[in-house]
Structure 1
Amino acid sequence: MDAAVIVVGAGPAGLMLAAELRVAGVDVIVVERLARRTGESRGLGFTARTMEVFDQRGILPRFGGIETSNVGHFGGLPVDFGVLEGAWQAAKTVPQSETEKHLEEWAVSLGADIRRGHEMLSLTDDGEGVDVEVRGPEGVHTLRAAYLVGCDGGRSAVRKAAGFDFPGTPSTMEMFLADLKGIELAPRMIGETLPGGMVMVGPLPGGITRIIVCERGTPPQRRETPPSFEEVADAWKRLTGEDISHAEPVWVSSFGDATRQVTEYRRGRVLLAGDSAHIHLPAGGQGMNTSIQDSVNLGWKLAAEIKGWAPRELLDTYHTERHAVGKRLLMNTRAQGLLFLSGPEVQPLRDVLTELIGYRDVSRHLAAMVSGLEITYDVGGGTHPLLGRRMPHLRLDADRPTSSTELLHTGRGVLLDLEDNRRLRSRAAGWADRVDTVTARPQDAPEELRNTAAVLVRPDGYIAWAAPGSHHDLPMALERWFGRPRG
């Protein structure tokens, strides 16, 4: 084997997966067709859930001062995300280029082997490993790994070569996105509809202005190169009457409203994550964030399989857990598209939904959906309110002051003993090579954790067992998620 895992694609999903594998001590090669990062920033900022994910690995400081906000939208209709009590605020101004830069630096610092200018040509899964034919600067060669993960975007070569089914609906229209210098435009909220289409204007750091323009009735084109800025400026003038042709384009791109999802996230020793597994209309910055969270869910499970302690079917839970998340992502982005891309015939629906958003429970539901905070996995059932949900940030008094988030920096499982229970700790001793047992007293525990004796937290931050309230006892839960004990 050249590496335990080969990842194709060095976007946010591929870089996050490479780093997660290295946190777990698994060697990984990332092959990326492009010789250097593009500098383009299709995605902007992080959702509250991604902020939590970065915090649990201790990498938020890499991004410096992050501007956060509780202002959000659903289909262009304003939603106050502040109704999500205790949640992180979303980061609004971090361009995807910065996210990729910091994730790549983190992955390389952990020992990931990132090979730019290397294009995957073909793959062969023989049941014992995967051979990957790669064309690089020195010619064509073959790499072999135990597993291959495609993180190579909506036109994924891995997905096509491995024969994944990718059902869904094709694009019905084309939209332009451009980042501009040397121009000042009045801000326009996403979803501002005009007689002929939709436009958006938003300021970005560094004097950059981002615009999106969509003319209704424009047929989608399969482009091999980005559209010209002249096309964008012409469309903008037809819709708004404003002339932006004198602006300096930083970069220009086009996208559509195609909605597709693979039927399975794993075929043998080949897996998919991020846009390789699901494509959709950009709405609320969910695409990049869901892709990063795909990789966090997959990373520790794939590492467990490679290290030999994974319980049976652990790796298959990547599909069962994340396919359901992707399905809801496609559902809500299609709904949002109907709201901000349709014409005046949809205005009554917008008006009704605006009234509903005024109800706190409705705002909370939509905000949790878009931010990823609604995610709940099936971990075996029980009555504890946090089973299958993410462990909330909890300040802890232990041997030294710490937090539930800091305990996850190592990427291992955590058994949090909140009542100094010696018998509980002895029952977990057989898993000490995979699970850290920490005895601590919580400070200001949220209501969901009051009267809780202990929780078992997976490496991705989700609660797999809690006492009281789980249907299974602790050893059963440990064996389900962390394999058989030593000896």
Structure 2
Amino acid sequence: MDASVVVVGAGPAGLMLAGELRLAGIDVTVLERHPERTGESRGIGLTIGTMEVFDQRALLRRLGDYETSGMGHFGGIPLDMGVLGAFHEAAKTVPQSVTEQALEAWAGELGADIRRGHEFVSYAESDACVEVTVRGPEGEQTLRARYLVGCDGGRSAVRKAAGFDFPGTATTTEMLLADLRGVDLEPRMTGEHIDGGFVMVAKLAGGIHRIIVGEHGVAPRKRTEAPRFAEVADVWKRLTGIDISHAEPVWVSAFGNAARQVTQYRRGRVLLAGDSAHVHLPAGGQGMNTSVQDAHNLGWKLAAVLRGDAPEELLDTYHTERHEVGRGLLANTRAQSLLILGGEESAPLRDVLAELVRLPGVTRHLAAKVSGLDIRYDVGGGSSPLLGRRLPHLPVTRGERRTSSTELLRTGRGVLLDLGDNAVLRRRAQPWRDRVDIVTATPDPVPADSPLAGTGAVLLRPDGYVAWAAPGSHRDLRSSLTRWFGPALGARR
């Protein structure tokens, strides 16, 4: 094999997946058709869920200086994210280009083979491998790998070549985007409905203003290239009365509200992650963040199968878990599309929702949804409210050293966190010690109403989600260890 895994696309999903695989010791080759990073930034922030993921991998320090905010929105309706009580706030000033640079440096330091200027052409699959045809600076070549993963965006060549079904709804409204220098516009971070359309302004680093504008009642164009800045400036002046034609455009683009999702995230030895698997209105930056978390879910599972620790059926849980997340993503962004892009006919809906978010339960529900904290996977039976959820950041003392559940996950291994000094429990987990760190620690006091209250131990998957919690039977612990980490030592065929 030329590589265990070939990943197509060096965006956030592809680079995150490459880093996760290398962290687990799996060789990976990333193919990117662009010879250099484009510097474009469709996404400009990180949700709370992605901040947690990045903290688990010690990636936050690589992002440089950034601003956080306790506020968010749902379809332009402001939300107080503080009701979630999360350890992190969302980062509002991290351009996608910075995220990609940080992920590429991390994956590269871990040994990922990242080949720019190499374009995926086709592939052929056999029982043992995939043969990937690649066009690069020296012509075409064939790479043999165990698995192929498409992380190559909404127009994914891998998805098309593999014949994945991609049902959904087509674009009905177009939005124009421009990053500008030489203007001073008042921020409209959650957007603003004005006569005839919708406008948004966000201040980015380096004195750049991002504007987004859309006109009601204008059919989307079939574009083969980015719109001209003059077109954006004309629409902006028509809707706001402000002339921005003197500004210097850094980047101009267009996007729509199409909503599509593949019916399968895996077909044999081909898998999809990120925008290759789902496209939607980029409301609140959820697309890039969901893409990163797709890769975070897939990486450790693919590595476990490739190492022979777990059976190939573990990969089926990637589809079942992340397809459901993607389905929810499309549902909430389609709802936001009606609020953001709708005209006067949507005004009553916006008014009613603005009333509803004054209720703490509604705010908490919507805030968790757009921040990626509402995810709960089906990990099996048990009564703990932690099961299937990402463990909240938990400070603990291990011996005389202060640490946290977040820090314990940085190796990319599973963790059995014994919070009650239970020797029997630790002994039960010993046959999985080659894949799971068994840690005894004392937690900081937790409030009585916390889901952590009364918890004696948790089994954490490498992505930080709770697979088992005590109180719970030792039989269930063994079952969970086998399900997520494969057979015990000595029990493998």
Q: TM tier, shorter chain?
A: over 0.9
Q: Quote the RMSD (CA, aligned, Å).
A: 1.1
Unmatched 5+ residue regions in structure 2? none
- Kindly state the Cα deviation for residue 66 of structure 1 after the two structures are TM-superposed: 2.5
The letter for the 2-side match of 1:334 is R
- Kindly state the Cα deviation for residue 312 of structure 1 after the two structures are TM-superposed: 5.1
- Kindly state the Cα deviation for residue 346 of structure 1 after the two structures are TM-superposed: 1.3
Q: Matched residue of 1:414: which SS?
A: strand
CA contact 2:281–2:333 (8 Å) conserved in 1: yes
Aligned to 1:449: 452
Rounded Cα–Cα distance in structure 1 between residues aligned with 2:156 and 2:238: 35
Instruction: Find out whether 1:473 has 2:451 as its counterpart.
Output: no
CA contact 1:191–1:339 (8 Å) conserved in 2: no
Alignment of 1:87-166 (within 5 A): 87-166=87-166
Q: What do residues 263-294 of structure 1 show as CA deviations (whole Å, max 9, x unaligned)?
A: 00000000000000000001011000000000
Q: Which moved more, 1:94-103 or 1:124-133?
A: 124-133
Moved over 4 A (4+): 469-472
Alignment of 1:48-67 (within 5 A): 48-67=48-67
Rounded Cα–Cα distance in structure 1 between residues aligned with 2:475 and 2:207: 56
- Determine which of 461, 466, 478 is the counterpart of 1:463: 466
- Kindly state the Cα deviation for residue 340 of structure 1 after the two structures are TM-superposed: 1.2
The letter for the 2-side match of 1:448 is P
Aligned to 2:167: 167
Rounded Cα–Cα distance in structure 2 between residues aligned with 1:470 and 1:24: 29
CA contact 1:382–1:471 (8 Å) conserved in 2: no
Unmatched 5+ residue regions in structure 1? none
Instruction: Find out whether 1:390 has 2:390 as its counterpart.
Output: yes
CA contact 2:78–2:190 (8 Å) conserved in 1: no
Alignment of 1:62-81 (within 5 A): 62-81=62-81
Q: Alignment identity in percent?
A: 69
The letter for the 2-side match of 1:426 is R
Rounded Cα–Cα distance in structure 2 between residues aligned with 1:436 and 1:63: 28
- Kindly state the Cα deviation for residue 201 of structure 1 after the two structures are TM-superposed: 1.1
Rounded Cα–Cα distance in structure 1 between residues aligned with 2:50 and 2:440: 27
The letter for the 2-side match of 1:317 is T
The letter for the 1-side match of 2:418 is D
Rounded Cα–Cα distance in structure 2 between residues aligned with 1:470 and 1:52: 29
Q: What do residues 68-103 of structure 1 show as CA deviations (whole Å, max 9, x unaligned)?
A: 101111100111111111341100000000000010
- Kindly state the Cα deviation for residue 224 of structure 1 after the two structures are TM-superposed: 2.4
The letter for the 1-side match of 2:127 is G
CA contact 1:381–1:470 (8 Å) conserved in 2: no
Q: Matched residue of 2:393: which SS?
A: coil
CA contact 2:418–2:457 (8 Å) conserved in 1: yes
Aligned to 1:212: 212
Aligned to 1:411: 412
CA contact 2:71–2:80 (8 Å) conserved in 1: yes
- Kindly state the Cα deviation for residue 297 of structure 1 after the two structures are TM-superposed: 0.2
Aligned to 2:356: 356
Rounded Cα–Cα distance in structure 2 between residues aligned with 1:224 and 1:475: 55
Q: What do residues 327-381 of structure 1 show as CA deviations (whole Å, max 9, x unaligned)?
A: 0000000001100111111111111110100011100000000000010000002
Rounded Cα–Cα distance in structure 1 between residues aligned with 2:60 and 2:436: 24
- Kindly state the Cα deviation for residue 444 of structure 1 after the two structures are TM-superposed: 2.3
Rounded Cα–Cα distance in structure 2 between residues aligned with 1:342 and 1:307: 50
CA contact 2:196–2:239 (8 Å) conserved in 1: yes
Q: Which moved more, 1:343-352 or 1:372-381?
A: 343-352
The letter for the 2-side match of 1:424 is L
Q: What do residues 164-213 of structure 1 show as CA deviations (whole Å, max 9, x unaligned)?
A: 00000110121111000001112224341122111111111111011001
The letter for the 1-side match of 2:389 is R
Q: Matched residue of 2:284: which SS?
A: coil
Cα 1:144/1:442, change in 2 over 3 Å: same
Q: Which moved more, 1:366-375 or 1:221-230?
A: 221-230
Rounded Cα–Cα distance in structure 1 between residues aligned with 2:78 and 2:418: 41
Aligned to 1:438: 439
Rounded Cα–Cα distance in structure 2 between residues aligned with 1:17 and 1:232: 35
Aligned to 1:229: 229
Cα 1:280/1:455, change in 2 over 3 Å: same
Aligned to 2:203: 203
Q: Matched residue of 2:283: which SS?
A: coil
Aligned to 1:302: 302
CA contact 1:411–1:460 (8 Å) conserved in 2: yes
Q: Matched residue of 1:316: which SS?
A: helix
CA contact 2:397–2:403 (8 Å) conserved in 1: yes
Q: Matched residue of 2:105: which SS?
A: helix
Rounded Cα–Cα distance in structure 1 between residues aligned with 2:132 and 2:479: 38
CA contact 2:191–2:201 (8 Å) conserved in 1: no
Rounded Cα–Cα distance in structure 2 between residues aligned with 1:224 and 1:343: 28
Q: TM-score, normalised by structure 2?
A: 0.97
Q: Matched residue of 1:146: which SS?
A: strand
Q: Matched residue of 2:200: which SS?
A: strand
User: Aligned residues, how many?
Assistant: 487
Rounded Cα–Cα distance in structure 2 between residues aligned with 1:312 and 1:11: 26
